[in-house]
Structure 1
Amino acid sequence: MWPHVACIENPLTTLAVHPARRSKGSMSTATPNTSLYIKNINTKVKKPELRRQLYSLFGSYGKVLDVVATRADGMRGQAFIVFRDLQSATAALRALDGFEFYEKPLVLEYARTRSKATIVAEHGQEALLRPDLIYKNADGTMISDRVTFSNAQGDAQGLERKRARDGSANATGAHASMPSPTFESTERPTKAPRTDQAPTTTTDTEEKEESDDDDDAMEIGNSDDDQ
């Protein structure tokens, strides 16, 4: 007896999907959460159709607050389903883990963190401004990163960090390789003020000394003549 059979509407045809047989021990062992993490989704399904079909499929188990699915690098084949209550999320997990969806069995587990949609539903829009609510795991422990379900359980988050580090390194390398600009001064050098040397004058004392020298020379000459 199949636990659940659903008909997924397709613009071209109606696709019947049935649950695949699950292996023992495949049930998620993470902390129960109102948000479910899904992987192994057929990557050929376009995003609008994927969101619509996931909402239709999981909506039969309870009120769905949000469906997060993207085809960005590192996120293909993955999605998050956010339920309003834990009972609905648990029922969907038990019924649809291994469910054949577009010819591939879904792999479900509880999300590791709570979604923003859950926090807003519980505490209101203002709760997004409260770090004590935003930065928590599903089990209530604090986390250092943002609550988001676009990181594929941490995989895409690591990818973003790597890109940020690479971008920072490239920017630093480009800055280091650029030559330092040199600036030429446009000011003309200041000329030293011109000073005229004062004419030298002969004082009376110097004239007297010169006269004495001449007298000495004459005395020496006279003494030679006397000899």
Structure 2
Amino acid sequence: MSAALQAQQRVRRLPPEVNRILYVRNLPFNISAEELYSLFGKYGAIRQIRVGNSKETRGTAYVVYEDIYDAKTAVDHLSGFNVQNRYLIILYYNATRHKGKLSLKEQEAELRRMQEKHGVDGEQRPAGKK
């Protein structure tokens, strides 16, 4: 690509949701970080990849690019890409969405602590019956 064309691409405005951090879903459980580096590295320099390894996060990964335009290019080319008979779902990382999930987990943990403290089993009972 010519330098003038690259400079022109850098000047254009990006939508507000575009981010250097990508959230990748629907990954094969046996995919390695090295395979992800080779797949996503085609679109630019990668700062970090984190592959989910717990029961709740298997099949997901975060890919952090050095440059926001490289991240956008990767989303444009890899969304719906078939990897080991699975179609990738790639989203831009949204901090407020993920904070909401964390706070919900924290709320549930706090509710369990309060139930244990006050001896409540958490079952819903009809009004007026004990």
In the aligned structure 1, how far is the partner of 2:84 from the partner of 2:118?
A: 47
Other-structure match for 1:42: 28
Name the count of aligned residue pairs.
Answer: 105
In the alignment, the residues of structure 2 paired with residue 39 and residue 109 of structure 1 have an alpha-carbon distance, to the nearest angstrom, of: 8
Within 2, Cα distance between the matches of 1:58 and 1:69?
13
Amino acid at match of 2:38: S
Task: Give the aligned partner of residue 53 of structure 1.
Answer: 35
Matched, 1:165 2:110: yes
Consecutive unaligned residues of structure 2, counting only runs of 5 or more, are 1-14, 120-130
Aligned to 2:74: 92
| Paired residues for 1:4-15 under 5 Å | none
CA shift, 1:101, in A, is 1.2
Which ranges of structure 1 fall in alignment gaps of 5 or more residues?
1-28, 114-142, 144-151, 175-227
CA distance in 1, matches of 2:27, 2:103: 21
2-structure distance, mates of 1:97, 1:58: 11
* Aligned partners of 1:35 and 1:81 also within 8 Å: yes
Higher RCO structure (Cα 8 Å, ≥6 apart): 2
TM-score (norm 2): 0.66
Greater Cα radius of gyration, structure 1 or 2 = 1
- Alignment-derived partner of residue 32 in structure 1: 18
Partner of 1:197: none
Following the alignment from structure 2 to structure 1, what is the Cα–Cα distance between the partners of residues 27 and 71? 18
Q: Provide runs of 4+ in structure 1 moved above 4 Å.
A: none
Cα deviation, residue 60, structure 1: 1.4
Identity %: 25
Across the aligned residues of Structure 1 and Structure 2, the Cα RMSD in angstroms comes to 2.6
Paired residues for 1:1-227 under 5 Å: 31-43=17-29, 45=30, 49-113=31-95, 153=98, 157-158=102-103, 160-173=105-118
Change (3 A) 1:42 1:154: farther
Q: 1:112 to 1:161 in 2, by over 3 A?
A: same
